[in-house]
Amino acid sequence: MRISDKPAARLKELGVELRPSVPLSEKTSLGIGGTTDQLLLRKFETIPEVMRLLADQKIPHRFLGGGTNVLIADGELPYVVLHLPTSQPGMRVEGNAAYVDAAADLGGMVTFCAKRDLGGMEGLIGVPGSVGGALRMNAGAYGTQIGSYVREVELYRASTGKLETLRGDDIRFDYRHTSFAPDDVMLRVKLELPSKPFKEILALIKICNEKRRASQPLNQKSAGCIFKNPPGGSAGRMIDELGLKGHRVGDAMVSDRHANFFVNVANASCADMLRLIDEVRERVRVTYGVELENEVIFWKN
Ligand code: EPU
């Protein structure tokens, strides 16, 4: 979608940088996604006004974070994407509290805190994506979930049109799910982390990295796990048992390393990936009687 000149000029006045016709395949870890205008929001304070302008002008929009857990449709997209600035996002530590901008890289935040002897999040080290995306999904790995450490979240609430601060206790963090509204925009978080010597944290980080390298296709284009694990079960194990590793639709393939990772081996389209997801879901449903739920977020047009 192209933004016309008049709203574009007003957005510029509000400190927004406009990048026309950006292929979102370059902004997602899957390497899939159509083309649209991208708006970079340089100033948090102007977000409510930017959002009002987009609403008044009836310009459909979506927020894209790190792009590591999203599957975006092909072709010209019927909405623009908004992006928080990712260069030099703020991070600071005060005692056991860490204050981090949502645009920060999740792994970068874990390392930043570790160097200041704050631990607890070792399991999250190899999870790709932004802090904002991790908050929204309650990202987790190797027994750690980010939600356990959240004390405050500063966000833009589309329902009120205002910047607000939520207390950690007022947010529900479940398995890969939170009580944030779909149109809430994460801006900053305050975490409370246990003190731990850097050396100890580093040792745990190494163990997690090794486990991950041994079991996940880290050097291929993917969005991490495609399905959530069903209660008490493992999506990866079921798909593996069905002999579907290496199964392909076009350039979308079930990883031969971890069956719940679907990789883009060259130039997969969103349509390829969706067909692969549907085929695998159906095979699991027929054999195990389990309806797998997507973990990856599909941006339907
Ligand atoms: N397994 C197989 N074959 C496979 C993959 C897994 O038999 O192809 C078996 C493993 O041997 C193991 C079990 O299934 O016994 C579970 O596998 P794994 O330890 O790899 O964990 P997972 O449940 O598949 C979850 C998260 C990952 C996270 C890892 C490590 C979900 C959907 N996935 O995977 O998160 O990295 O645990 O904690 O909860 C993600 O969220 O995108 C993600 C990758």
Q: Which of 210, 234, 288 is the pocket-test mutation for ligand 1 (most atoms within 8 Å of CB)?
A: 234
For residue 141 and ligand 1, the question of a CB distance below 6 A is answered with yes
Q: How far is the CA of 236 from the centre of ligand 1 (A)?
A: 6
Using pLDDT thresholds of 50, 70 and 90, give the confidence band for residue 20.
very high
Among residues 247, 255, 256, which one has the least CA distance to residue 280?
A: 247
For residue 259 and ligand 1, the question of a CB distance below 6 A is answered with yes
Structure-token pair, residue 165:
């601060």
E strand segments, 177-260: 177-178, 185-192, 221-225, 248-249, 252-254
Using pLDDT thresholds of 50, 70 and 90, give the confidence band for residue 33.
very high
Residue with tokens 């790995």: 141
Q: How far is CA 142 from the centre of its chain?
A: 18
**Average pLDDT value over all residues in the chain:** 96
Dihedral in degrees, nearest 10, Cα atoms 22, 31, 180, 227: 160
Per-state percent for the chain, helix, strand, coil, to nearest 5? 30, 30, 40
**Nearest ligand 1 atom to alpha carbon 229:** 32
| Count of residues making up the chain | 301
Q: Cβ(185)–Cβ(48) under 8 Å?
A: no
Predicted confidence (pLDDT) at residue 87 exceeds the cutoff of 80: no
Q: How far is the CA of 301 from the centre of ligand 1 (A)?
A: 30
Q: Whose CA is nearest to atom 11 of ligand 1?
A: 237
For residue 229 and ligand 1, the question of a CB distance below 6 A is answered with yes
Q: Cβ(129)–Cβ(68) under 8 Å?
A: yes
- pLDDT digits 0-9 by tens, 231-279: 999 999 999 999 999 999 999 999 999 999 999 999 999 999 999 999 9
- pLDDT digits 0-9 by tens, 68-77: 999 999 999 9
- pLDDT digits 0-9 by tens, 34-48: 999 999 998 888 999
Q: Whose CA is nearest to atom 20 of ligand 1?
A: 215
- pLDDT digits 0-9 by tens, 120-150: 999 999 999 999 999 999 999 999 999 999 9
Which amino acid, one-letter code, is at 232? Answer: G
Q: Which of 209, 216, 237 is the pocket-test mutation for ligand 1 (most atoms within 8 Å of CB)?
A: 237
* Mean pLDDT computed over 149-176: 96
Among residues 221, 226, 222, 246, which one has the least CA distance to residue 236?
A: 226
For residue 224 and ligand 1, the question of a CB distance below 6 A is answered with yes
pLDDT of residue 122: 96
Predicted confidence (pLDDT) at residue 86 exceeds the cutoff of 80: no
Q: Whose CA is nearest to atom 3 of ligand 1?
A: 237
pLDDT of residue 138: 97
User: Hey, is 202 helix, strand or coil?
Assistant: helix
pLDDT of residue 235: 98
